Amino acid sequence: LASRAFHPEDSVVMVGDLAIGGEEIHVMAGPCAVESREQLLEAARQVKAAGATILRGGAYKPRTSPYSFQGLEEEGLKLLAEARELTGLKVVTEVMDVRTLPLVAEYADILQIGARNMQNFFLLREVARVDKPVLLKRGLSCTIEEWLMAAEYIMSGGNQRVILCERGIRTFENYTRNTLDLTAVPVVKYLSHLPVVVDPSHGIGKWQFVPTMARAAVAAGADGLLIEVHPNPAEALCDGPQSLTPENFAHMMKELRSVARAV
């Protein structure tokens, strides 16, 4: 179902009135985690002003250490809904398990499946039964074929609205957090009709390199970007080193217009 052979035309995934995979590049931006009302509303206001159309923010966080901030959970979802109300931005947020799926689906416009859950086949089967678009991140060490098979689980379960997200893979290189695999963009577009979004923030892990790779992703044919933006990255509870300030984000958006179809 995900294959280009089965469906020769590019798929456009509608998120309300936004067309992902259409003429315009859509930028999903916001903090790694929802931390507080002030933090989220400030981030939302700023990314909207700079041209983002979708707000990101985790309410449930898959952290390496159980002692790290784990997210505000339902309170975080409510804040995302409030930010949507105030700005008109759509909301993408991660769903980590089957247990919390009904609650997350009540608030999210797009359900994010994180890299660590890309092959959680029970979760994929459950999101397949929800009438919401799914942002399917590529697993930490997953091949393109495994990634497309994960999309196949969602689509064969009844949900055709899958957006793929390249977010970097594990390699021997450790100067960057991951290795952003931009070859995945043309390869996936050759193999599949699904829209592809690139997340340079997690791909690189260092904010200094995010704007350049965002431009490279768009030049390679990405349909959208996922960018972490925090009002005060130095104080972020999660992923501060890879988060842009609102000012740097606005600058990135301006530069993007030199390579993008339309932003």
Read off φ and ψ for residue 85, nearest 5 degrees: -60, -45
Ramachandran class of 168: left when φ > 0, alpha when ψ lies in -120 to 50, beta otherwise: left
Binding mask 149-188 for ligand PEP (x = CB under 6 A): ------------------x---------------------
239 binds Mn ion, rule: CB under 5 A: yes
User: By CB under 5 A, how many residues form the interface with Mn ion?
Assistant: 2
62 binds ligand PEP, rule: CB under 6 A: yes
In contact, 167 and 115? CB cutoff 8 Å: yes
User: By CB under 6 A, how many residues form the interface with ligand PEP?
Assistant: 9
Nearest CB to Mn ion, comparing residues 51 and 205: 205
**Beta carbon of residue 176, minimum distance to Mn ion (angstroms, whole number):** 15
In contact, 262 and 22? CB cutoff 8 Å: no
Shortest-Cβ-distance residue relative to ligand PEP: 114
Q: How far apart are CA 113 and CA 136, in angstroms?
A: 5
Name the binder of 114 from Mn ion, ligand PEP, none, CB < 5-8 A by kind: ligand PEP
Contacts of 89 (CB under 8 A, 6+ apart): 44, 47, 48, 52, 53, 54, 55, 83
- With CB under 6 A as the contact rule, the residue among 26, 48, 177, 202 that binds ligand PEP is 202
- With CB under 6 A as the contact rule, the residue among 32, 34, 40, 194 that binds ligand PEP is 32
32 binds Mn ion, rule: CB under 5 A: yes
In contact, 28 and 52? CB cutoff 8 Å: yes
**Beta carbon of residue 130, minimum distance to ligand PEP (angstroms, whole number):** 19
**Beta carbon of residue 228, minimum distance to Mn ion (angstroms, whole number):** 6
Nearest CB to Mn ion, comparing residues 90 and 230: 230
Ramachandran class of 30: left when φ > 0, alpha when ψ lies in -120 to 50, beta otherwise: left
Q: How many Cα atoms occupy the beta-carbon half-sphere of 114 within 13 Å?
A: 17
Q: How far apart are CA 163 and CA 112, in angstroms?
A: 9
Name the binder of 62 from ligand PEP, Mn ion, none, CB < 5-8 A by kind: ligand PEP
Enumerate binding residues for ligand PEP (CB under 6 A): 32, 58, 62, 114-116, 137, 167, 202
Enumerate binding residues for Mn ion (CB under 5 A): 32, 239
